[in-house]
Chains A and B, each alone.
Chain A
Amino acid sequence: MTKKEVIVIGGGIIGSSVAYFLKEKGYWPILVDKDNFGKETSSACEGTVIMQSKQPGPKLELALKSRTLYQELSRKLVYDIEYREKGGLVLLENEQQAAIMKKTMLEQETFGLQVKLLTIHEARKLEPVLSKNLWGAIYSDADAQVNPIAVTRALLQDVVKDGGTILPHTKVEDLLVEQGNVCGIKTNRGEMRAAAVVNAAGIWSSSLTARYGYEPKIIPRRGQILVTEAFPPTVRHIMICACYLAAKHHPELLDPTKLQHKLGVGTVIEQTVHGQLLIGSTREFVGINKETTLAGIQEIARHVMKLMPGLKNINVIRSFSGLRPKTENGLPILGPVKELPGLFMATGHEGDGIALAPITGKILADQIAETGILS
């Protein structure tokens, strides 16, 4: 039996993961990217694999499965993906936030996510940089972090090692459609045919299919992030403030006149294996615009100072921003496209792409195998 080829469009962490799991299932993946791999959103984000930030429901379920896959990948891949199960804290500034989060905690527990409410005194024992003025925190040992650039490169290395093809600087101009079926792509390097095509082009993924009457709404949402100088391990957990979750799940609760909420600023902080802090982030709708703004990075700094005054002397060395592909209902688009047989979508993860990359790859590979394309 000759192996069937499957084209994956988009060489970010999602496309790389799809290619990896296709390869594991016995396909020959061909991964194409308009530039080099992992150069857009996948290298302009944080590396958090947080369970607590996922809305209890399908997303949390996917995230928990994805975490198990990350554990396997970090054992299996020869490249160090810097996966660390550090545990996470959701920081609560006041009683009102605590009340909202208590409800979420009960729901999270029904999905098997163990969480624990801590007083600020207890939380400060775990994380001395926290402000005494906070109300408390919620702890979970399930939260982890990875290095998204390393994950992308590790997956690609493994795909190539097992005979898959990766083609950088290959811009997809159109789909190849014959009798209503998608059977390949047209690129600046010519046509390529395959048994199936996976669209993992992130914020660019809806433009390809628009002319065939399928145009899912994917809106770029900008996240600005600060990088600090490297210093010895101090921030021991991945931390996220409750207002970040509020901005994500209950935007109606926020005061739109405040600059912080206008920019969607909520703190997410992690110390990488290399010692630098990544502090995020804004959540803004500004189209395809990757600038960082003074207002944005100052709001992030202000908010983190309120939560963690212990970090006041740490130097910021850079800011960067990435565009997250947001869908209308906030859930990723995964699976076959009814209007275009042969085409599969793996896009729209917004800010959860890193956490959900492994499970996305696995689901897509399973779905493609189920359609019997392999035989």
Chain B
Amino acid sequence: MKCGLIYDGCLSQAETASVLPAAERFAKGPVAVIECIQDIPCNPCEKSCPHQAIIIGDNITAVPRLQADRCVGCGLCAAQCPGLAIFIVDASYSATEAVITLPYEYYPLPKEGDIVMGVSRSGAAVAKARVLKVRRETAAYGTILVSITVPKKFMHTIRSFRALREADKRIVCRCEEITETEIRLAVRQGANTVKDVKLATRAGMGACQGTSCRREISRIIAEETGASPEEILPPRFRMPVRPIPLAQLAAEEGKND
């Protein structure tokens, strides 16, 4: 299966890897991620950078190169890029969250503090995000730059956001508070049994051990994969059937098989 910019319009994982600055640079603070890999005649990013961190050179069809040690993550290039291909990623925001700053060209604009759904390059829901800042970049024709905080593990995955929908709020696994959207995402990433979903999301690992959610999870897997619910492998049932205090389990007369 072919994937990549020229096949499906999104950077493949290998293509993404080729444009990411080094992990050490991410740790230091905000830095531009220039997801531009096609030889097109375009160079506003080079001109926009006050720190000369982006180089295209005399050949206008060359792809931009970032000198990551010069970049301060100001975001001017992100506001200038006509292809909306530049993002500012700040991995130093907190221990668990990163900030992604991205150009946003839709109305209505989000408000600071809004909870939104972070989506991937192809528009698939990934994880909830919080709007940190909405700024109008006057130096770049008033482009709107929105900063969102996302779980750190998704800082190279989330590249835009949308408003929350019903499925984003609907909790399927009540013990671990896992939403329908999270389960659908896991299935789209290859989980096709209830156990796969459990390992990917923790759905069914809580106090009720899937008693209330496993059928719903099977149904979602069936819907996503086109299989019938009976074909979806159920999770393995294990002792005890009901929660039992440790002391009682220890005292109970059992057979010594």
Contacts and interface: CB of A to CB of B under 8 A. Distances in A.
Interface stretch (B44-52, B111-119, B199-207, B214-222): B199-207
Interface stretch (B60-68, B77-85, B235-243): B235-243
A79 B153 contact: yes
B254 to A, nearest CB: 5
Interface residues of A, number: 45
Nearest to A298: B254
A298 B250 contact: yes
Contacts of A31: none
Given A149-B199, A302-B250, A314-B245, A297 B255 contact: no
Contact of A230 (B193, B196, B207, B255): B207
A163 interface: yes
A316 B249 contact: yes
Contacts of B155: 78
Nearest to B195: A39
B231 interface: no
B156 A161 contact: yes
A304 B17 contact: no
A168 interface: yes
Given A78-B91, A149-B199, A311 B239 contact: no
B40 interface: no
Contacts, number: 109
A315 interface: yes
Contacts of A298: 249-250, 252, 254
Contact of A154 (B14, B153, B196, B245): B153
A38 B199 contact: yes
A313 B245 contact: yes
A295 B257 contact: yes
Nearest to A306: B250
A39 B199 contact: yes
Contact of A294 (B98, B207, B245, B257): B257
Interface string A68-103: 000000001011100000000000000000000000
B13 A80 contact: no
Contacts of A319: 238-240
A317 interface: yes
Interface in A288-315: 292-295, 297-298, 301-302, 304-305, 309, 311-315
A76 B23 contact: yes
15 contacts: A39-B196, A43-B199, A78-B152, A161-B16, A161-B17, A161-B156, A168-B190, A229-B243, A259-B256, A276-B205, A298-B249, A311-B246, A315-B246, A316-B245, A317-B243
Interface of B: 13-14, 16-18, 20, 23, 91, 96, 98, 152-153, 155-156, 190-193, 195-196, 199-200, 202, 205-207, 209, 238-240, 243-247, 249-250, 252, 254-257
Interface of A: 36, 38-39, 43, 76, 78-80, 149, 153-154, 157, 160-163, 168, 226, 228-230, 259, 274, 276, 292-295, 297-298, 301-302, 304-305, 309, 311-320
- Kindly list the 8 A-B residue pairs having the minimum CB-CB distance in the complex, ordered from nearest: A312-B247, A315-B243, A163-B14, A79-B153, A301-B250, A301-B249, A163-B17, A302-B250
